[in-house]
């Protein structure tokens, strides 16, 4: 065992297999992992972890898989078979980690185990400084369960050694929002209610729930994506300029946004939210099962689509709707933020064809920024000046000639190893987000608001359009 160790709980799970091990391999390939770092995977059953990880990584990395890098990586890698709920197993883990001076524990398990794992790590003396812990979202299922987990984490580690992961914050395109807003003078003077009519944030996926049904069915899109990824994007769009990039400077501004969200409860869930659940359909020409069909046709009221008309009640954003939506099994994968500016106050041109400016920040599948601006159509204009909206486009992939888009977790691993918490969520942010989300979930229950069916491969339930139309807007696809 080296001097430093990364211990991954849930080493056989979806997240570790698809994201965590490949990220660590890539970092090693680029020479970015500290040479003294061991990687210990842990799960319940005996397993040949290196063989499993090799197969996973080889598949993910494809042609660029290197035997030399693998040999180096494999030397770091070991497995510990233990039951995360059994206190005694932590003594054995402590023996395995003897001689290690600094450990990072990564909890890639169901949130149901977070508190127990933290308590047992504490009991076995494994959580003493400088040990750190990384925990995946969602932290809990609601505010009450989140607080229980937080109390256990706090007890064992303390806030400055807790790294709450929201992998959206590790994405280049998401960090670029900070650069776009605060490294340019162009947008900030216009970034408020006077110039902006509304903002739309969409996280659309083509994938279904696949093998994650038992987790997903208890959480649904509201808790799986809105509580974390969507609200984090909203924070970065709506927050005030922080004084610097220090972790607390940024997080202080983000939490203010979440706290300014106008509550949505039983009185207005029907007007301000839409729930949907996909049914059988075609995605990319392939027939796919409906949500309940993915699990033996079992009945379920879990939503796989949510749309919300949110408001940030502060001076900057008074009266500006923020339309948020996310869904699985939609027609296209598309994560984008659209900032719709107001129309010109007085037009000297014929009204027809005059389109208000719009800034579109596309995060996935491509990283692109485009600004729609009005132009004169070249002509002799004998019937009056003709105008046309055209886009100024910036492709980040082209501009930076990047050969590979990094996995968000690569950045997050490096920051956690360095102890930098800027891209990790603070406890008060998580709790404020749960408080807002809980009201919506309770409202749905109180109003018995069931998800509306939408065909897989479609654009989601048609009732989403009423949300934007109420304010005279429309979803921009
Ligand atoms: C995860 C959710 O946090 O994010 C998944 O649990 C979702 O349900 C995923 O599919 C989306 O992430 P990305 O990076 O593919 O947009």
Using the atom order of ligand 1, give the atom closest to the CA of residue 137: 3
Closest atom of ligand 1 relative to the 229 alpha carbon: 3
Q: With 80 as the cut, is the pLDDT of residue 382 above it?
A: no
| Arithmetic mean of pLDDT, 136-159 | 97
Distance from Cα 167 to the centre of ligand 1, integer Å: 8
Has residue 330 got a pLDDT over 70? yes
Residue 181 sits in the same domain as residue 158:
no
At residue 212 the predicted structure's pLDDT band, cuts being 50, 70 and 90, is confident
Q: Of the given ranges (319-333, 442-456, 460-474), which has the lowest mean pLDDT?
A: 460-474
Tell which of 141, 165, 189 closes a domain.
165
- Could you report the per-residue pLDDT of 40-82, keeping only the tens digit for each? 999 998 899 999 999 999 999 999 999 999 999 999 999 999 9
| Residue 379, helix vs strand vs coil | coil
Note whether 128 and 221 are same-domain residues: no
Record the pTM: 0.96
Residues 312 and 428 placed together within one structural domain of the fold: yes
Euclidean distance between CA atoms 128 and 145, whole angstroms: 24
Q: Is residue 476 part of a domain?
A: no
The pLDDT of residue 400 is above 90: no
CA-to-CA distance for 16 and 43, rounded, in angstroms? 11
Q: What is the mean pLDDT of the chain?
A: 94
269-306 per-position pLDDT tens digit: 999 999 999 999 999 899 999 999 888 778 899 999 99
Specify if 475 maps to a domain. Answer: no
Question: Is 342 within the bounds of a domain?
Answer: yes
Residue 429 CB–ligand 1 contact under 6 Å: no
Q: Residue 179's CB: how many other CB atoms inside 10 A? A: 10
Q: Do the strands 132-136 and 102-107 form a parallel or antiparallel pair, or are they unpaired? A: parallel
User: Confidence band (pLDDT; 50, 70, 90) for 386?
Assistant: confident
pLDDT value for 396: 81
397 pLDDT above the threshold of 80: no
Residues 414 and 440 grouped into a single domain: yes
Number of CB atoms found within 10 A of residue 313's CB: 13
Between β-strands 281-283 and 102-107, what pairing exists: parallel, antiparallel or unpaired?
unpaired
- 136 pocket-lining for ligand 1 (C-beta < 6 Å): no
C-alpha atoms less than 13 angstroms from C-alpha of 116 in its C-beta half-sphere: 14
Atom of ligand 1 nearest to the CA of 335: 16
- Same domain, yes or no, for 129 and 222? no
Same domain, 303 and 339: yes
28 Cβ closer than 6 Å to some ligand 1 atom: no
* Angstrom distance (rounded) from CA 25 to CA 28: 5
As for how many domains the chain has, the answer is 2
Give the per-residue pLDDT at 362. 95
191 and 326 belong to one structural domain:
yes
Q: Check whether residue 110 and residue 40 sit in a common domain.
A: yes
Work out the average pLDDT over 327-354: 91
Whether 401 has a pLDDT exceeding 90, the answer reads no
Q: Are 2 and 101 in contact (CB under 8 A)?
A: no
**CATH number, position 141:** 3.40.50.720
**Whole-number Å distance between alpha carbons of 197 and 421:** 33
> Which pLDDT score, from 0 to 100, does residue 473 have?
84
Q: Which of 137, 205, 411, 433 to mutate to test the pocket of ligand 1 (most atoms within 8 A of CB)?
A: 205
Give residue 301's domain range: 169-469
Residue 477 lies in a domain: no
User: Which sequence positions are flagged as catalytic?
Assistant: 229
Are 143 and 210 contained in the same domain?
no
Three-class SS of residue 459?
A: coil
- Confidence class for position 351, pLDDT limits 50, 70, 90: low
Picking from 165, 199, 217, the residue at the C-terminal end of a domain is 165
Whole-number pLDDT of residue 383 = 75
3-state secondary structure 215-280: HHHHHHHHHHHHHHHHHHHHHHHHCCCCCCCCHHHHHHHHHHHHHCECCCCCCCHHHHEEEEEEEC
- How high is the pLDDT of residue 477? 84
pLDDT above 80: residue 403: no
Residue 266 lies in a domain: yes
């Amino acid at each position: 065992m080296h001097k430093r160790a990364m211990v991954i709980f849930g080493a056989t799970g979806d997240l570790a297999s698809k994201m965590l091990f490949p990220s660590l391999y890539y970092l090693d390939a680029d020479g970015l992992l500290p040479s003294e770092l061991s990687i210990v995977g842990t799960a319940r059953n005996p397993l040949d972890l290196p063989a499993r990880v090799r197969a996973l990584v080889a598949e993910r990395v494809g042609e660029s898989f290197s035997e030399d890098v693998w040999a180096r990586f494999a030397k770091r890698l070991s497995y510990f078979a233990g039951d995360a709920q059994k206190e005694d197993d932590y003594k054995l883990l402590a023996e395995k980690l003897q001689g290690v001076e600094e450990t990072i524990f990564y909890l890639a398990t169901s949130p149901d185990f977070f508190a127990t794992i933290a308590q047992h790590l504490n009991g076995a003396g494994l959580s003493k400084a400088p040990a750190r812990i990384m925990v995946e979202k969602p932290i809990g299922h609601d505010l009450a369960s989140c607080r229980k987990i937080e109390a256990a984490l706090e007890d064992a580690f303390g806030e400055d050694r807790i790294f709450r992961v929201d992998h959206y914050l590790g994405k280049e395109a998401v960090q670029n929002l900070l650069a776009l807003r605060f490294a340019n003078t162009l947008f900030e003077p216009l970034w408020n209610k006077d110039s902006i009519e509304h903002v739309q944030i969409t996280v659309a996926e083509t994938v279904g729930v696949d093998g994650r049904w038992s987790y997903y069915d208890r959480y649904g899109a509201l808790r799986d994506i809105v509580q974390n990824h969507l609200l984090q994007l909203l924070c970065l769009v709506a927050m005030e300029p922080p004084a610097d990039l220090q972790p607390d400077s940024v997080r202080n501004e983000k939490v203010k946004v979440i706290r300014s969200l106008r509550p949505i409860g039983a009185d207005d869930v029907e007007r301000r939210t839409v729930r949907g659940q996909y049914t059988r359909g075609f995605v990319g020409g392939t027939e796919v099962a409906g949500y309940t069909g993915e699990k033996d046709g079992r009945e379920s009221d879990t939503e796989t689509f949510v749309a919300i008309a949110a408001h940030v009640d502060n001076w900057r954003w008074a009266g500006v709707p923020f339309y948020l939506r996310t869904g699985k099994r939609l027609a296209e994968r598309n994560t984008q933020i659209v900032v719709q500016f107001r129309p010109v106050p007085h037009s000297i041109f014929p009204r027809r064809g005059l389109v208000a400016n719009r800034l579109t920040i596309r995060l996935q599948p491509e990283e692109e920024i485009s600004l729609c601006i009005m132009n004169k159509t070249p002509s002799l204009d004998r019937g009056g000046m003709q105008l046309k909206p055209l886009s100024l486009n910036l492709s980040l992939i082209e501009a930076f000639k990047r050969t590979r888009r990094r996995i968000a977790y690569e950045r997050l691993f490096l920051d956690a190893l360095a102890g930098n918490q800027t891209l990790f969520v603070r406890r008060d942010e998580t709790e404020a987000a749960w408080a807002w989300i809980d009201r919506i979930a309770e409202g749905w229950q109180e109003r018995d608001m069931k998800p509306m069916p939408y065909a897989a491969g479609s654009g989601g339930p048609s009732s989403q359009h009423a949300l934007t139309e109420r304010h005279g807007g429309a979803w921009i696809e």
